[in-house]
Chains A and B, each alone.
Chain A
Amino acid sequence: MNWRRLWAIVIKELRQLSRDRITLAMVVGIPVIQLVLFGYAINLNLRGLDAGIVDQANSAGSRALVMDMLATDVVAPVAHADTPQQLMAMIRRGQISIGIVVPADFERRRIDGRPVAQVLVDGSDSTVQVAAAQLAQTPLDSAAPDTRAPATSTPMPPRISVVGFYNPQRQSAINIVPGLIGVILTMTMVLFTAIAIVRERERGNMELLIATPLTSAELMVGKVLPYVAIGLVQTTVILALGIWLFKVPIRGSLLDVYLATGLLILANLSLGLLISSRAQSQFQAMQITFFVFLPSILLSGFMFPFAGMPKVAQWIAEVLPLTHFLRLIRGVMLRGASLWELWPDGLALLAFIVLMMTAAILRFRKRLD
């Protein structure tokens, strides 16, 4: 490894990048757009969900409870019905997303400490579930003075039960932003390097480069390094926006967040290089990239919970860098874990990087045949 040649490649890449307006716009534009789209779509859905109401008790207490729920502005009443079955039909037709059911024995249930009301949820939209969870927190105290014993040192059991249809698993909205770091980096980083080598081959630069003393390791590492910096810039943009706009917490250390992200960036870049050494044209490189990108989004646990997937899908997911990154970043940002505690996933990413990078360097021949 000759440092001067390596550095020459890095400088060259940065210079080319600085003149490539579209790519530069992509570097900052993609994270901002994705984050705002994903983030606000979630937040806006938390307001004014169409709701249907069945109040079978129709007592003062039950009416007060329904009014309290409506006062949160999370739901807006669009329909009243007589039975829960009617509400379910409305949900199925897409007329309403949330149904509120107060059973006839509301008062008795309240005294017994049993759930007093039911919130029916259209679980086909995961953000609705989050809203329902909020609704279920509506305190009963304001509806009527709690007649139970004053010993409230133990947490009150949920008095309103939530029944999710179609998707019983609930996912927190805050999961989205840490996950989004991973998704955006997977999309942009793989693509950058997947194109990087093919482009030089298409433009004819490669024939010049391989006729020089430049080694394939210098070329590969030199191509990766500038994009690591770009990946970290993207991470910073996403984090800053996530904290500013959505109050996403970083409960672990910021250093761990960047270390985990650095691992994902390197993993994706080396995967891109491997694609690059294989693809014949830039178009082909893009096709292969999307071939990898789709399973990453679907199987990594970003969209659907990992635990619920069939075994085969889980095995595939274990091979994807994004799966391991999501575990790392959610652990660090949301649970406040240290990277060290999550070592198996860190190790998996490291192994992936070494494997891909070695394969890319070995596959790259300084020959035209």
Chain B
Amino acid sequence: MKEEGAAVAIRASGLTRRFGDLVAVDRVDLEVPSRKVYGFLGPNGSGKSTTIRMLCGLLTPSAGEIEVLGLRVPAEAEALRSHIGYMTQKFSLFEDLTVRENLEFLAAIQGVPRKRTRARIDDLIEQYHFGDLQKQLAGTMSGGQKQRLALACAVIHEPELLFLDEPTSAVDPESRRDFWEKLFELADAGTTLLVSTHLMDEAERCHRLAILDHGVLVADGTPRELTARLSGRTFIVEAAEPRRAQKLIVDLPGVLSVAQVGTSLRVLMAEPAADGEGAEHTCRVIDDALTGAGQQAATVAVQANLEDVFVAVTRRDADQRQQAA
């Protein structure tokens, strides 16, 4: 799965973190390539934040090995600090300092050379559109503005590696788009980015992706690879009475999930259609079942999206957990 010749920024194996009886992160193996935007996709409580905190040395793993930028974590975490930027999930800058004061503070703390500090801050204020807001207290800004400031502060020392923990959870769609533009600019300039999210459209933008569920890494790859694995398993059903049709389809053998999207139903099969039968066969099976129950229906095969991937891997995982229990 690893791209040939690409340098690796983060490598983790068997990464585990327990909080009492709760296993927040369970034997995660990870390889994050350099200069790419790597996504962590998972619902709340899936262990994304815990994993990120372990990777930047803020939490000690219960078990497992971590190597970030060639440094062993947590043993060499202090040496790592000046090479990484970390944008926390909650806004963590000082709300009672102005935009410029926050930047000045972090420049000094991160050791930006004194001579270059002023120019660097001016640059960032320009790039991140803070021209008129320099003297505004951070606490009085909008969610999107805070986000931008947090990013500007996280990159002030031009880190090689940037951790972003759900950076856009409190931001409107417009600001989110701008924000992602910035992330790709950074990646182009050579920064490795690790972004956690629970939003599918954000996950889709990542170069590579790991899906976490209940602390377990259930899938990883490029978005295209991940969706390709589901070929022949996703269908759209147009039905006159979607709610009733949904109940009928769920009971068909091999159906993993049925979700209503507007007036149509999105069906995910546990297995692709057997060889020689193809997707048409599945379409026919569904149509027959519905017309047999007096429902008008038209089923077509469609391309899988990341949400399908997410449902497919987390369901399988849940089934396994049930069997184990």
Interface residues of A (CB under 8 A from B): 2, 4-5, 7-8, 11-12, 15-16, 19-20, 203-214, 366-369
Cα-based distance from A325 to B74 in the complex (angstroms): 44
Using Cβ atoms and an 8 Å threshold, which residues of chain B touch A16? 94, 96-97
The smallest C-beta distance from A176 to any residue of chain B, in angstroms, reads: 37
> In the complex, which of the residues B90, B97, B109 contacts A204, with contact meaning CB atoms closer than 8 Å?
B90
Kindly count the residue-residue contacts between A and B in the assembled complex, taking CB atoms under 8 Å apart: 78
Cross-chain contact B105 with A210 (CB below 8 angstroms):
no
22 A-B contact pairs sorted by A residue (CB < 8 Å): A4-B108, A4-B114, A5-B109, A7-B108, A11-B105, A15-B101, A16-B94, A16-B96, A19-B96, A20-B96, A204-B88, A204-B90, A204-B92, A205-B94, A207-B90, A207-B92, A208-B93, A209-B109, A211-B56, A212-B106, A214-B109, A369-B59
Chain B residues within an 8 Å CB radius of A19: 96, 137
A208-B78 in contact (CB<8A): no
4 shortest A-B CB distances, which residue pairs? A8-B108, A208-B92, A211-B86, A204-B92
Closest to B165 in A: A207
A4–B106 CA distance with the chains assembled, in angstroms: 11
Answer whether residue B110 sits at the interface, using C-beta atoms and an 8 A cutoff. yes
Asked if B81 and A211 make an inter-chain contact with CB atoms under 8 angstroms apart, the answer reads yes
In this assembly, does B91 line the interface, its C-beta being within 8 Å of a C-beta of chain A?
yes
For B86, the chain A residues whose CB sits under 8 A away are: 207-208, 211
Contact A213 B82 (CB under 8 A): yes
- Which residue of B has the minimal Cβ distance to A6? B108
Closest CB in chain A relative to B28 CB, distance in Å: 17
Closest Cβ of chain A: how far from B61's Cβ, in Å?
A: 10
A4 CA / B115 CA spacing, docked (Å): 13
Question: Is B94 within 8 A of A12, CB to CB?
Answer: yes
Assuming A205-B93, A205-B94, is B88 touching A213 (CB within 8 A)?
Answer: no
Look across to chain B and name the residue whose beta carbon is closest to the beta carbon of A211. B86
The chain B residues found within 8 Å of chain A, CB to CB, are: 53, 56-60, 74, 77-78, 81-82, 84, 86, 88, 90-97, 101, 104-106, 108-111, 114, 137
**For the complex, what is the distance from the CA of A45 to the CA of B162, rounded to whole Å?**
68
The answer for the CA separation of A210 and B58 in the assembled complex, in Å, is 7
Question: What distance in Å separates the Cβ of A77 from its nearest Cβ neighbour in chain B?
Answer: 60
In the bound complex, do residue A5 and residue B92 qualify as a contact, i.e. CB atoms below 8 Å apart? no
- B60 interface neighbour in A12, A206, A213, A367, Cβ under 8 Å: A367
Output the nearest chain B residue to A212 by Cβ-Cβ distance.
Answer: B109
The answer on a CB contact under 8 Å between A204 and B82 is: no
User: Which residues on the B side are within 8 Å of A2 (C-beta)?
Assistant: 111
Complex Cα–Cα for A210 and B86 (A): 10
B50 to chain A, nearest CB (A): 10
- Tell me what chain A mostly uses at the interface: helix, strand, loop, or mixed: helix
Q: Is the CB of B53 within 8 A of A368?
A: yes
Additional 4 contacts, C-beta under 8 A, given A7-B108, A212-B106, A369-B59: A208-B86, A212-B110, A366-B78, A369-B60
| C-alpha spacing A213/B76, complex, angstroms | 12
Chain B residues whose CB sits within 8 angstroms of the CB of A368 once the complex forms: 53, 58-59
A367 & B58 in contact (Cβ 8 Å cutoff)? yes
**Whole-angstrom CA separation of A368 from B59 in the bound complex:** 6
B59 and A207 within 8 A (CB): no
CA distance in complex: A15, B94 (Å): 11
Across the interface, name the chain B residue whose C-beta is closest to A219: B109
Q: A204, B91: Cβ atoms under 8 Å?
A: yes
Q: Specify which chain A residues have a CB less than 8 angstroms from the CB of B137 in the assembled complex.
A: 19
Residues of A within 8 A of B91 (CB): 204
Contact B81 A212 (CB under 8 A): yes
* Chain A residues positioned under 8 Å from B88 (CB to CB): 204, 207-208, 211
A213 to B77: give the CA distance in the assembly, Å: 10
**Do residues B59 and A8 form an inter-chain contact, with CB atoms below 8 A?**
no
Closest partner residue, chain B, to A208 (CB atom)? B92
- Report the bound CA distance from A7 to B108 in whole Å: 9
CA distance A203 to B210 in the complex (A): 30
Shortest B165–chain A CB gap in Å is 9
Cα(A367)–Cα(B56), bound, Å:
10
Cα–Cα, bound, A11→B94 (Å): 13
Within the complex, which residue of B78, B95, B104 is in contact with A213, where a contact is CB–CB below 8 Å? B78
Question: Quick one: given A211-B84, A213-B111, are A203 and B95 in contact (CB under 8 Å)?
Answer: yes
Whether the Cβ atoms of A8 and B105 lie closer than 8 Å is yes
Of all chain B residues, which has the CB nearest A20? B96
Question: How many Å lie between the Cα of A182 and that of B74 in the bound state?
Answer: 44
Closest residue on chain B to residue A8 by CB atoms: B108
CA distance A213 to B86 in the complex (A): 12
A151 CA to B78 CA, complexed, in Å: 83
Q: Bound state CA distance, A71 and B108, in angstroms?
A: 69
In whole angstroms, how far apart are the Cα atoms of A209 and B92 in the complex?
9
Q: Using known A-B contacts A207-B58, A211-B86, determine if residue A8 contacts B109 with beta carbons closer than 8 Å.
A: yes
Measured between C-beta atoms, what is the minimum distance from B92 to chain A in Å? 4
Instruction: Tell me whether A5 and B93 are in contact (CB under 8 A).
Output: no
- Shortest Cβ distance from A19 into B: residue: B96
- State whether B58 touches A5 (Cβ < 8 A): no
| Most chain B beta carbons < 10 A, residue from A4, A12, A211, A366 | A211
Contacts of A4 in B (CB 8 A): 108, 111, 114
A143 CA to B97 CA in the complex, in Å? Answer: 72
Q: How far is the CB of B132 from chain A (nearest CB, A)?
A: 20
**Which residues on B sit within 8 Å (CB–CB) of A209?**
109
A20 to B95, CA, bound (A): 12
Distance between Cα atoms of A7 and B97 in the complex (Å): 16
